[in-house]
Amino acid sequence: MNAERPTYRILISGGGTGGHIYPAIAIANAWMERHPGSEILFVGALGKMEMQKVPEAGYPIKGLPVAGLQRSLTLDNLSFPFKLLKSLRIASGIVKEFKPDAVVGVGGYASGPVLYAAQNKGIPTLLQEQNSYAGLTNKLLAKKAKSICVAYPGMEAFFPASKIKVTGNPVRKDILDLSGKREKALSHFGLSEDRKTILVLGGSLGARTLNQAVLKDMVKLEQSGYQVLWQSGKYYFKAMQEELNSSGLKHIQLREFIREMDLAYAAADVIVSRAGALSVSELSLVGKPVIFIPSPNVAEDHQTKNAIAYVRNNAAVLLEDKAAVGHLREKVDQLMTNPELIQSLGINMKKLAKPGAAEAIVEELEKLVA
């Protein structure tokens, strides 16, 4: 490390979903713990959740008008090249003004223009790829990146092997130790001590299939003696609330968004989740039985690939999206009635965990500014 410089300037770019934002914040926090005099600036996409979540975490952020291409032919696609060119121009100005010592890209719309601008100016860049199937932006940026931190082995198929460091995905620190939190968790969410708890997570925006699956089976789940802590996401909350209110059920706890994830995990006996990169990384640390229902509506079907990486290690159960509605209780029963399977899934999940991911990425970043 260069001892003559009292501070460092680190630019972090990307976002769009919690799967990109929370790892980015975790990297920033880990860097500041080791280099408290540093300046960190985030760059995100205007209108996306990072524009709210990053300032809430205590960091400044600037926005770009960049947006992704839609899969179907829409008017928004016609504006894509104009937004991209404008974002490239703004990103170049941000890099020139902030003068970062290094730039970190975590994926998402904004990371492309920012890292492209940094690389053209000779500033060292680090990529953080959360998924088992690399995103297009990171694949394009990999050639000029100095270091590429990944969560899964076998990423040589996408990136130069000499640049790859298997670090895992950074996660929130409060989930690293759940011991002693169950009683508090049950009380916090209004859950019963006498019922097994199913935690359903569809992400911050929500997942239609997961919500429909709970809706379809919620009466049977309650009749079977279970209780459900259900994060529906903001897009579906009102509709799900209306359905639940008219059902008369008492053991289905619906939430639009769960902020106290450590307590949610502590309360859970079985977890039902999408298979986004952040979700699977967090759940491996939690070490509880998981039913993954991967979203089919993502690039290169990477959620299925994420889930299969765990299923192959006997660390999780897979339920296909197309089969989820009408078969959720069946999968839950298979787990709840098999204590040995529950225990083995939890143990195997923990084996795949990488609790020091953020610190490992910071170590790679330190090499770039040395």
Residue stretches of the annotated binding site for UDP-N-acetyl-alpha-D-glucosamine: 17-19, 131, 172, 204, 258, 277-282, 303
Pairing of strands 164-166, 290-292: unpaired
3-state helix, strand, coil in the chain (%, to 5): 45, 15, 35
Query: How far apart are the C-alpha atoms of 368 and 123, rounded to whole Å?
Result: 9
Residues paired with residue 159 on neighbouring β-strands, in sequence order:
none
Q: Is the dihedral of CA 268, 207, 105, 50 positive or negative?
A: negative
Residues paired with residue 197 on neighbouring β-strands, in sequence order:
227
CB atoms within 10 A of CB 142: 19
Dihedral angle, C-alpha 293, 296, 298, 299, nearest 10 ° = 120
Dihedrals phi, psi of 43, to nearest 5 degrees: -130, 125
CB atoms within 10 A of CB 36: 8
CB atoms within 10 A of CB 3: 5
Q: Which segments are annotated as binding site?
A: 17-19, 131, 172, 204, 258, 277-282, 303
Which pair of structure tokens corresponds to residue 294?
A: 């991967």
Which pair of structure tokens corresponds to residue 121?
A: 């100016």
Query: How far apart are the C-alpha atoms of 216 and 205, rounded to whole Å?
Result: 20
Q: For residue 10, what are the contacts with CB-CB under 8 A and spacing of at least 6? A: 28, 31, 38, 39, 40, 41, 100, 101, 102, 103, 104, 365
Which pair of structure tokens corresponds to residue 219?
A: 């009466």
Residue type, 247: S
